[in-house]
Amino acid sequence: MIRSTLRFAPVALLAALTLSATLVGAQQQVPPAPPQEPSGPTPASAPTFPKPDPARFTATFPSKDLVNAFLQASWGYDDSRIWQVQAIMKTTVEGISKVIVVVADKTGKQKPAALQFLALADGKHIIAENEIIPFGEHPFAENRAILQQRADGPYRGSAMKDLELVEFADFQCPHCKEAQATMEKLAVDFPKARIVFQNYPLPQHPAARNAAAYGACVAKLGGNDAFFGFASTVFDGQDGLGTADGATLTLNSAVTKAGLDPAKVSACAATQAINDGIDASIKLAQDLNINQTPMLLVNGRLVPIGGAPYETVKQVIEYQAKQDGVAK
């Protein structure tokens, strides 16, 4: 039976359909699969979806094929997920359609559940759980182009942008510290990727802005390798950022360990040019509708990595690389 009530997890727990079953807190990029509950004994075969009612397909846009292409781009990394478009209906607002999709696990271990979203008149976006999300056969292409043009943080790996992994992080964010183990593994598993660090200091973290400025100066004065050494040291000593004196000591120690002069880096961090660069990085995150750290963008696809299982993150990256026709 299909649930009569369409369900979504709260926004704070969404993995944006990117990590579907492994819900972690982050901004969504595509609508999340509804929570699914055990159905008791494991069925011997995949669940059977009810036959769609033609009377519930009253809107001319989006087409059923386009919805399926969008969901394939979003969910295709998960071989166990199956779905069926149940309705594409007109609404009382001209050009806005309601789409209903039934989602299940093809093993039959979970009950089918329903999700709905609104397709907007511009043909490029949908609304799901009060969030505006890119839509289409290639929903991440616009974000990818924006990042290729504007993501200018320190990077490691390839100078090419065929497979670009852009991490938005805050040096005082505990989940960002935890995510660094994931980023280190990705650097090993995807040696052909360009892995970029973009500063996104959050206002609730008083030391984050200055840490970002120090990091930008370390990269400017010492290069990418010096920056990643600095970043690793700051994350390791993150507790020291909790007080003004502790933050100064932590940042200066990290600069010294990176082989640079703390006095020169401090002077650099106070310059308008460096702070304008941080503002530009924050603006980039906001333009991409990122409202939480850490967030990884894989060729424009938002992948929440705070607490996400590494193998799932890796699986999503491999799938996206394949979709974009690039080597891993």
297-318 pLDDT, tens digit per residue, is: 999 999 999 989 999 999 999 9
pTM score, whole prediction: 0.85
Do 118 and 185 share a structural domain?
no
Do 48 and 67 share a structural domain?
yes
Do 225 and 98 share a structural domain?
no
Q: Is residue 109 part of a domain?
A: yes
Q: What 3-state class would DSSP assign to 224?
A: helix
What value does the mean pLDDT of the chain take? 88
Q: What is the spatial distance between Cα 294 and Cα 248, in angstroms, rounded to a whole number?
A: 23
Q: Domain span at residue 66?
A: 11-138
Q: What 3-state class would DSSP assign to 87?
A: strand
Q: What 3-state class would DSSP assign to 83?
A: strand
Q: Looking at per-residue confidence, does 29 or 33 come out higher?
A: 33
Q: What is the spatial distance between Cα 30 and Cα 139, in angstroms, rounded to a whole number?
A: 9
CATH number at residue 217: 3.40.30.10
Number of domain units in the chain: 2
Final residue before a domain boundary, out of 138, 159, 178: 138
Which secondary structure element, helix H or strand E, spans residue 168, and what is its range? Answer: strand 164-169
Q: Is residue 62 part of a domain?
A: yes
Contact between 59 and 90 under an 8 Å Cβ cutoff? The reply is yes
Give pLDDT, residue 6: 26
Q: What is the spatial distance between Cα 115 and Cα 98, in angstroms, rounded to a whole number?
A: 11
Do 215 and 96 share a structural domain?
no
